[in-house]
Amino acid sequence: MAHYNSSKRLRVLVTGAKGMLGSDVAEVFGSAGHEVKACSRKALDITRKKNCIQTTEEFQPNIIINCAAYTKVDDCENNQETAFSINEKGAGNIAEAAEKCGAYLIHISTDYVFDGTSSRPYQENDPTNPINIYGLSKLKGEEAVKSACTRYSIVRTSWLFGINGPNFIKTILKLALEKNELMVVNDQQGCPTFTKDLAKTLLIFAQQQPTGLFHCTNSKSCTWYELAQKALYFSGKNPDMVKPVPTSAFPRPAKRPAYSVLDNSKFVEMAGFKLRPWEESVRDFCSFYSNSKVLTKKTAI
């Protein structure tokens, strides 16, 4: 990955800063020398417009990074009001606040805006057609951003895993301690993306401030089954304990797109590099995750 290098110190406001991506974004921008205001949901509730306007008026950010969202995909089906209130209205509120204070907004969106019927990686201008409420609410959020502000990028990413939040890899590693065999779906394909890698990439967006939609994920794609196997392998466990099953084996409230690989060409053209392959990021995540768990245990003793 190319290295970010800028002498300009920016004032960066991060929403959802206690979340999996938000916490890495706050840390990465702080380490790069920027002045960061990392807002938890308690400090800045994006569903409250006044709260958004007041916070931005006080801090006067150059950049706002909206990592706040209602991300519980299955729960969104039964909590539609909450989903639209945070993912659509909240995104619009933040965009309006950005416009008012003249900040550049980086808004995070998702591969779930697509229906998964494509046979090639999705480009930014491909037709959207979400098949669950989460995807629809995030698509409405994109529209709200576009209509409320002029200086923005919408960064669609997918299959996030990171140290500071629950995610698929952590679940697999936990289940591997409890069971001899794990059934994992092998007919959904996407691009696993490490939140640390994405957070570093957002530095490029903050520096170049391009306008519009971008797809940004780790390179290469896989199925959840393949991801589970690699996570076990890199954690020193037996990858063969995972058995492939079809999505129909695990009925869930929200449908998932069968194929949601995002074409990163537009991002690569802008940034001059592509993110590393997901396997490398999973290897680093697993090594860091197991070491941090050892450290926690030692500290507790």
Contacting positions for ligand NAP (CB under 6 A): 15-16, 18-22, 41, 44-47, 67-71, 86, 90, 108, 110, 138, 157-160, 165
CB neighbour list of residue 66: distance below 8 Å, 6 or more residues apart: 15, 16, 46, 91, 94, 105, 106, 107, 108
When the beta carbons of 97 and 178 are compared against ligand NAP, the nearer one is 97
Helices (H), the chain: 20-31, 49-59, 73-78, 80-84, 91-101, 133-148, 168-178, 195-208, 224-234, 265-271, 278-300
Least CB distance from residue 20 to ligand NAP, whole Å?
4
When the beta carbons of 157 and 218 are compared against ligand NAP, the nearer one is 157
When the beta carbons of 43 and 294 are compared against ligand NAP, the nearer one is 43
**Dihedral sign of CA atoms 151, 157, 162, 166 in order:** positive
Least CB distance from residue 15 to ligand NAP, whole Å?
5
The phi and psi torsions of 16 (rounded to 5 degrees) equal: 60, 35
Going by C-alpha positions, the residue among 101, 75, 76 that lies closest to residue 88 is: 76
Terminal CA-CA length for the chain: 38
Least CB distance from residue 231 to ligand NAP, whole Å?
15
When the beta carbons of 6 and 30 are compared against ligand NAP, the nearer one is 30
Q: Give the C-alpha separation, 130 to 113, whole Å.
A: 5
Alpha-carbon distances, residue 54 vs 43, 149, 281, 284 (angstroms): 11, 17, 38, 39
When the beta carbons of 14 and 232 are compared against ligand NAP, the nearer one is 14
Least CB distance from residue 42 to ligand NAP, whole Å?
8
Q: Which residue is nearest to ligand NAP (CB)?
A: 19
Answer yes or no: 134 catalytic. yes
Least CB distance from residue 168 to ligand NAP, whole Å?
8
Structure tokens at 250: 């695990």
From the candidates 134, 152, 259, 289, give the one annotated as an active-site residue.
134
Going by C-alpha positions, the residue among 289, 163, 172, 284 that lies closest to residue 227 is: 172
Q: Where in the sequence numbering do the catalytic residues fall?
A: 134
